[in-house]
A and B are shown apart, each in its own frame.
Chain A
Amino acid sequence: MVDTKKTEEVQVIIPANEIDKVSDEKWEPKIIAFLCNWCSYAGADLAGVSRIQYPPNVRVVRVPCSGRINPLFILKSLQVGWDAVLVSGCHPGDCHYISGNYYARRKFSVLDDLLEFIGIDKGRINFSWVSAAEGEAFAKVIRKITKKTRQLGPNTIFKEDQ
């Protein structure tokens, strides 16, 4: 699904061709996670070094701040076929850039409400606060989202009947 040309602007940690390994016969949800560099990305790192297990369905994109996320990134991800999107940043008050996550919170709630309003399943887009010290919390969030996405099924967003 990943078009390398389209994502060359952001750093993709998992090589694009690995995504192809998920076979179509046995559908596995694919989740794109935009993680803030200072908290959630470090939290994911901590989950890794602590050997905490979580589902391998998530692909991480590191961003400077959750405030960097344009709602268009999220909509575009869903449009090109990611089954769910996660945006995660620092807890309120902890933002490395003082207030980025507060602005992000307002943008996300607009997007969340709007998608619900036009009749798209809640749960395709997810937002969370995960700090650098919360490896276990990160794993829990991923487990929860993967389970939810599995229930929702493959993404047909904006295409057919929801």
Chain B
Amino acid sequence: MVKKRKKKKEKQENQNNQKNQDNPKDQQYSIEKIIPKDKFDSLIKGLYKDFKLIVPKEAENEIEFDYLDPENEKYQFPEYQNLRVSPKKFLFPQKEVLYSFEKEGTGIKIKEKEEKIDDQIIFGIRSCDARSYKILDTFFSSGKYSDPYYFSKRNKTLLIGLACNDPMSTCFCTSVGGAPFSSEGLDAILYDLGDNYIFKIISEKGIIFEKYVKEYPDVNKVDLKKKEELATSARGKIQFEINLDNIEKDLDSLFESDIWTKVARRCLSCGACSYVCPTCHCFDVQDKSDKSGGKRVRIWDNCQSSIFTLEASGHNPRNSGKERTRQRIYHKFNYYLKNYKILGCVGCGRCIKVCPTNRDLRESLKIVVETAEKA
């Protein structure tokens, strides 16, 4: 059985590599340019000629990712730390019509989803969110088939990051293998040095950006040094660190532990954490129809809801908040490692911010690690 599983995994990995050729594989391209902030607008305009741009924009009372129209608006990055809502929805929307059908005479005509997808860039994405796409890529390409709805958009999307100078108080990316200045999963990255940006191309796909930044001067040593300093200071601003090297094993031994009653005691079983999470990807499929036709819709689902696992017989294997809370942590920190050899959490801290009862994932992890150490 074990062997079989291994084989399957290898196969999966091969498939993943075939599908996601944007995986950087630690290749580094030595294109690093300096872009003064006052020239930033022209860079945006240049990119807009060939790509649709999704950028952090000022919305009502907060900053949100949205499509940019640089012809009518002058764009500068607004000041933002990390956004409340992750950019997951641009590749995996909350509601997605898979196909629709219509009555035609006496028969029925099925219409495939017709979607014109332009090349697009998610611009100014943070390192944690970029890593979340890697996790989503893995999930949606796992198994025998890859998800065409996700990859139709994913394959046309490039990611340009903006390194995180001021992580939030809830950030813990360094504990789950990331870093505020990490370029993992990105095609190019910007480092904010105050007056200038460093524009660095990371992936093979990112080479396409070379022509847009050709005119700018190469980076010099002083700037690189400044960047390193900023990276260290950003890392230092992260207030929480936990060693999760043994988390898979730790959790294996704690499935029946009574810590889960304690952890889940104040959970309201709402889906707020799942919906803001950049890596939560569970979905449900619903059919909607009326007299003239109908559609099949894919919608977000969340494991904290009691009907998530409700079976047709009426039995519910995860009947209480305790089991559902445990599931969320196990899925991200145990099953993911077992299935895909990666952690399912990027440490963006959104679930901590959004939880109405302040159920802090960091605290839960701390309890897990401490209990496992004691045992």
**Residues on A facing B (Cβ under 8 Å):** 1-3, 19-20, 80-81
How far does the Cβ of A26 sit from chain B's closest Cβ, in whole Å?
A: 17
User: What are 9 of the A-B contact pairs (CB < 8 Å)?
Assistant: A1-B290, A1-B291, A2-B291, A3-B289, A3-B290, A19-B291, A20-B291, A80-B290, A81-B290
Q: CA–CA, A46 to B291, complex, Å?
A: 32
Q: CA–CA, A20 to B103, complex, Å?
A: 12
New A-B contacts (5) at CB < 8 Å, excluding given A1-B290, A1-B291? A3-B289, A19-B291, A20-B291, A80-B290, A81-B290
Q: Please give, as numbers and ranges, the residues of chain A lying within 8 Å of B290 by CB-CB distance.
A: 1, 3, 80-81
Chain B residue at smallest Cβ distance from A16: B291
How far does the Cβ of B155 sit from chain A's closest Cβ, in whole Å?
A: 34
Q: Please give, as numbers and ranges, the residues of chain B lying within 8 Å of A3 by CB-CB distance.
A: 289-290
Complex interface residues of chain B between 289 and 311 (CB less than 8 A to chain A): 289-291
Chain B residue at smallest Cβ distance from A1: B291
Chain A residue at smallest Cβ distance from B290: A1
**Residues on B facing A (Cβ under 8 Å):** 289-291
Q: CA–CA, A19 to B289, complex, Å?
A: 16
- Identify the interface centre among A3, A80, A81: most chain B CB within 10 Å of its CB: A3
Main secondary structure of the interface of B (DSSP, over half): strand
Chain A residue at smallest Cβ distance from B291: A1
How far does the Cβ of B330 sit from chain A's closest Cβ, in whole Å?
A: 36
Q: CA–CA, A80 to B291, complex, Å?
A: 11
Q: Please give, as numbers and ranges, the residues of chain B lying within 8 Å of A2 by CB-CB distance.
A: 291
Q: CA–CA, A20 to B289, complex, Å?
A: 14
Q: Which 9 A-B pairs have the closest CB atoms?
A: A1-B291, A20-B291, A1-B290, A3-B289, A81-B290, A3-B290, A80-B290, A2-B291, A19-B291
Q: CA–CA, A20 to B106, complex, Å?
A: 13
Q: CA–CA, A77 to B202, complex, Å?
A: 55
Chain A residue at smallest Cβ distance from B294: A3
Q: CA–CA, A19 to B292, complex, Å?
A: 12
Q: Please give, as numbers and ranges, the residues of chain A lying within 8 Å of B291 by CB-CB distance.
A: 1-2, 19-20
Q: CA–CA, A2 to B290, complex, Å?
A: 7
How far does the Cβ of B209 sit from chain A's closest Cβ, in whole Å?
A: 42
Chain A residue at smallest Cβ distance from B103: A20
Q: Please give, as numbers and ranges, the residues of chain B lying within 8 Å of A80 by CB-CB distance.
A: 290
Q: Please give, as numbers and ranges, the residues of chain A lying within 8 Å of B289 by CB-CB distance.
A: 3
Q: CA–CA, A1 to B294, complex, Å?
A: 11
Q: Please give, as numbers and ranges, the residues of chain B lying within 8 Å of A19 by CB-CB distance.
A: 291
How far does the Cβ of A12 sit from chain B's closest Cβ, in whole Å?
A: 14
Chain B residue at smallest Cβ distance from A19: B291
Q: CA–CA, A132 to B291, complex, Å?
A: 34
Chain B residue at smallest Cβ distance from A5: B289
How far does the Cβ of B104 sit from chain A's closest Cβ, in whole Å?
A: 15
Chain B residue at smallest Cβ distance from A81: B290
Q: CA–CA, A126 to B290, complex, Å?
A: 24
Q: CA–CA, A41 to B56, complex, Å?
A: 59
Q: CA–CA, A80 to B294, complex, Å?
A: 13
How far does the Cβ of A114 sit from chain B's closest Cβ, in whole Å?
A: 24
Q: CA–CA, A3 to B290, complex, Å?
A: 7
How far does the Cβ of B108 sit from chain A's closest Cβ, in whole Å?
A: 15
Q: CA–CA, A1 to B289, complex, Å?
A: 9
How far does the Cβ of A125 sit from chain B's closest Cβ, in whole Å?
A: 21
Q: CA–CA, A43 to B290, complex, Å?
A: 32
Q: CA–CA, A20 to B293, complex, Å?
A: 13
Q: CA–CA, A28 to B263, complex, Å?
A: 58
Q: CA–CA, A3 to B291, complex, Å?
A: 7
Q: CA–CA, A1 to B290, complex, Å?
A: 5
Q: CA–CA, A93 to B92, complex, Å?
A: 57
Q: CA–CA, A1 to B291, complex, Å?
A: 5
Chain B residue at smallest Cβ distance from A24: B292
Q: Please give, as numbers and ranges, the residues of chain B lying within 8 Å of A20 by CB-CB distance.
A: 291
How far does the Cβ of A46 sit from chain B's closest Cβ, in whole Å?
A: 32
Chain B residue at smallest Cβ distance from A17: B291
How far does the Cβ of B101 sit from chain A's closest Cβ, in whole Å?
A: 14
Q: CA–CA, A2 to B289, complex, Å?
A: 10
Q: CA–CA, A81 to B289, complex, Å?
A: 12
How far does the Cβ of A4 sit from chain B's closest Cβ, in whole Å?
A: 11
Q: CA–CA, A80 to B288, complex, Å?
A: 11
How far does the Cβ of A82 sit from chain B's closest Cβ, in whole Å?
A: 12
Q: CA–CA, A122 to B119, complex, Å?
A: 48
Q: CA–CA, A81 to B291, complex, Å?
A: 11
How far does the Cβ of B245 sit from chain A's closest Cβ, in whole Å?
A: 52
How far does the Cβ of A33 sit from chain B's closest Cβ, in whole Å?
A: 20
Q: CA–CA, A80 to B289, complex, Å?
A: 10
